[in-house]
């Protein structure tokens, strides 16, 4: 198959590209505008592979995407191109409206026209979304299922919800062969150090304070990025067009417990600590809470488990240790990303 991945130079997109190139025979076309959050070094292991090609395009650029689809004639599109950081959306929502809403609109319209002109049986458009579209949960609420109503809290989650509505309505109105996935917080190697886990690791190594929003008791359901990618591949092979699938890690943790666990791993691994601290946890610093901060996200992934025979491989303790070790071994990737 020819698989086009948008956002393939970002965190999850690059993990998907590496998986497809390194473990399957599919051809992969990576389309990414190379925003601040991307890093081509994440693709070092695939760039010389003859099945891999790259286009530095913005998905909002309809003309270029039209030409690209006609030229490459993909059988599948995974759409991961998006602005993805909630804090940035609070500071400046404009990029989120463009990439996440208008970009998705241009991409699905371009794809719809491409499918009208080209006979493609079993074409799939797989749109990667977030559990944040469902809003947040109270401690005793049941985890999100695919039928939960959308109730986004931030400009980021509202822009993702909008794009999901567009994709779903294109299926209903035009029979557009789309599937939506809603996943929980991802973690793992190659994540831009603005998100909690890599941010804490990179700040700790420099002996800087580790900022925790509010009381740190917000709960997230952590999904290892490689488990996410394996779920996306199952969705490609056997997912039902018009359906959506929730993907979660079965790992509900408070932010503060995640940060303390990172500090514990670093304490064990690094004997000479920066700034004369005795433990990395001395650097934990509580800061003013994020406005509208969602209290809890949790995913009920039983649909994808039952229907597509998917399950997580990583438990959180092993996944986090592996992630911390990866960052310690790849300090140069972090400095390259932050350049
Ligand atoms: N990281 C998570 O925990 C998480 C959780 C749920 C859902 N998601 C969703 O998964 C997808 C990927 O997330 P990520 O964490 O890999 O994000 P990321 O920020 O690491 O990467 C996004 C990539 O998309 C590219 N991009 C952005 N706008 C583009 C545009 N207009 N045209 C072309 N390329 C563009 C960027 O250059 C970057 O390489 C996003 O849709 C995000 O909303 C992420």
Q: Is 59 in the pocket of ligand 1 (CB under 6 A)?
A: yes
pLDDT the model gives residue 56: 98
**pLDDT tens column, 286-335:** 999 999 999 999 999 999 999 999 999 999 999 999 999 999 999 989 88
pLDDT the model gives residue 299: 97
Q: Write down the domain spans for the chain.
A: 2-188+224-248+297-313
Tell me the average pLDDT of the chain. Answer: 97
Catalogue the active-site residues.
Answer: 131-132, 156
**Integer Cα distance of 27 and 50 in angstroms:** 8
Give helix 196-205 / helix 331-338 axis angle, nearest 10°. 110
Q: Residue 339 above 80 pLDDT?
A: no
Q: Please state the φ and ψ torsions of residue 145, each to the nearest 5 degrees.
A: -110, 175
**Integer Cα distance of 153 and 234 in angstroms:** 30
* Residue 1: closest CA among 20, 15, 14: 20
Give distance in angstroms: CA of 16 to centre of ligand 1: 12
pLDDT the model gives residue 337: 85
Give distance in angstroms: CA of 37 to centre of ligand 1: 8
Residue range 38-47: mean pLDDT, rounded: 97
Report the 10 Å Cβ neighbour count for 6: 29
pLDDT band at 84 (very low <50, low <70, confident <90, very high): very high
Q: Is 34 in the pocket of ligand 1 (CB under 6 A)?
A: yes
Contacts of 121 (CB under 8 A, 6+ apart): none
**pLDDT tens column, 187-209:** 999 999 999 999 999 999 999 99
**pLDDT tens column, 223-271:** 999 999 999 999 999 999 999 999 999 999 999 999 999 999 999 999 9
Q: Is 144 in the pocket of ligand 1 (CB under 6 A)?
A: no
CATH 1.20.120.1730 fits 2-188+224-248+297-313, yes or no: no
Report the 10 Å Cβ neighbour count for 199: 17
- pTM, to two decimals: 0.97
Contacts of 71 (CB under 8 A, 6+ apart): none
**pLDDT tens column, 117-140:** 999 999 999 999 999 999 999 999
Q: For ligand 1, what atom is nearest to the CA of residue 98? A: 31
Q: Is 17 in the pocket of ligand 1 (CB under 6 A)?
A: no
* Residue 246: closest CA among 259, 270, 228: 228
């Amino acid at each position: 198959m020819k698989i086009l991945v948008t956002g393939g130079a970002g965190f999850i997109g690059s993990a998907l590209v590496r998986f497809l190139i390194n473990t399957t025979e599919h051809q992969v076309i990576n389309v990414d505008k190379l925003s601040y959050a991307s890093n081509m070094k994440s693709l070092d292991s695939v760039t010389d592979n003859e099945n891999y090609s790259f286009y530095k395009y913005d998905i909002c650029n309809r003309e270029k995407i039209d030409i690209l689809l006609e030229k490459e004639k993909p059988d599948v599109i995974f759409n991961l191109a998006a602005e993805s950081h909630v804090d940035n959306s609070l500071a400046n929502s404009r990029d989120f409206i463009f990439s996440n809403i208008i970009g998705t609109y241009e991409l699905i319209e371009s794809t719809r026209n491409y499918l009208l002109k080209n006979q493609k049986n079993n074409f799939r458009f797989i749109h990667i979304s977030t559990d944040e579209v469902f809003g947040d949960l109270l401690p005793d609420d049941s985890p999100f299922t695919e039928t939960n109503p959308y109730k986004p809290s931030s400009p980021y989650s509202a822009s993702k919800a909008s794009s999901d509505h567009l994709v779903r309505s294109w299926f209903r109105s035009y029979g557009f062969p789309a599937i939506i996935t809603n996943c929980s917080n991802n973690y793992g190697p190659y994540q831009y150090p603005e998100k909690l886990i890599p941010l804490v690791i990179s700040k700790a190594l420099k002996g800087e304070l580790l900022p925790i929003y509010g009381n740190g008791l917000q709960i997230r359901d952590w999904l290892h990025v490689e488990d996410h990618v394996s779920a996306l591949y199952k969705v490609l092979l056997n997912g039902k067009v018009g359906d959506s699938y929730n993907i979660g890690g079965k790992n509900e943790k408070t932010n503060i417990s995640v940060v303390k666990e990172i500090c514990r791993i670093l304490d064990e691994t690094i004997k000479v600590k920066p700034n004369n601290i005795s433990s990395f946890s001395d650097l934990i610093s509580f800061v003013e809470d994020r406005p509208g901060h969602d209290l809890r996200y949790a995913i009920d992934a039983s649909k994808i488990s039952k229907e597509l025979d998917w399950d997580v491989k990583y438990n959180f303790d092993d996944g986090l240790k592996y992630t911390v070790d990866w960052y310690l071994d790849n300090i140069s990737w972090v400095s390259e990303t932050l350049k």
